């Protein structure tokens, strides 16, 4: 029986050692690519798109990602068509982050697929886990929103600014708050 690598454990949603040398190298490479992207000028659209296509798991030609942005690995980020993210968005993509078509993120939106154990001894050892985030088509997420690990947001939903999304949000609703909760149905 073969032993799973820390990366395999991470991708499987199991506890893993986050400072594994392979994972550190991959995070460093993604950081370098995102810094390069963030340093390019507005007119360098083709060069910026080339960086994102090499960095992300999938990246359409018709996206707009306003610098600066940060990601952990990049390869776990899958973007749909007509994606827009305003400045200072963070993607902690230790697990897959799948974003549908026509999704808009306000400034400072943070997607945290990473999570940490409640046991302080585990945290001291650098142990963590990760769970996928899924955002359906036609979702708008207001600025300064945090979306936690394992959350799914249904299509057609709007998340109000400053929300902390800790649980799944159904389709076609307005939801907001800390913790985020459904305010009303939209359709």
Q: Could you report the per-residue pLDDT of 75-87, keeping only the tens digit for each?
A: 999 999 999 999 9
Task: Indicate whether this model's pTM tops 0.85.
Answer: yes
pLDDT band for position 3 (cuts 50, 70, 90): confident
Enzyme catalytic residues: 116
- 6-185 CATH: 2.160.10.10
Query: CA–CA separation, 52 vs 49, rounded Å?
Result: 5
Q: What is the pLDDT of residues 117-155, one digit of tens each?
A: 999 988 898 899 999 999 999 999 999 999 999 999 999
Q: Quick: pLDDT tens for 40-90.
A: 999 999 999 999 999 999 999 999 999 999 999 999 999 999 999 999 999
CA atoms within 13 A of residue 126's CA, in its CB half-sphere: 8
Q: Where are the domains of the chain?
A: 6-185
């Amino acid at each position: 029986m073969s032993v799973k690598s820390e990366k395999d454990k991470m991708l499987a949603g199991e506890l893993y050692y986050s400072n594994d040398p392979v994972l550190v190298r991959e995070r460093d490479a993604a950081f370098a690519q995102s810094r390069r992207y963030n340093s390019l000028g507005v007119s360098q659209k083709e060069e910026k798109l080339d960086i994102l296509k090499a960095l992300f798991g999938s990246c359409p030609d018709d996206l707009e990602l306003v610098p600066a942005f940060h990601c952990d690995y990049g390869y776990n980020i899958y973007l749909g068509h007509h994606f827009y993210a305003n400045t200072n968005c963070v993607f902690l993509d230790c697990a897959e982050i799948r974003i549908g078509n026509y999704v808009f993120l306000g400034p400072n939106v943070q997607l945290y697929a990473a999570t940490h154990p409640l046991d302080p001894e585990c945290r001291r050892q650098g142990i963590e886990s990760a769970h996928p985030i899924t955002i359906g088509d036609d979702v708008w997420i207001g600025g300064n929103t945090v979306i936690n690990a394992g959350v799914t947001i249904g299509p057609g939903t709007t998340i109000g600014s400053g929300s902390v999304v800790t649980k799944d949000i159904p389709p076609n609703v307005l939801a907001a708050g800390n913790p985020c909760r459904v305010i009303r149905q939209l359709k």
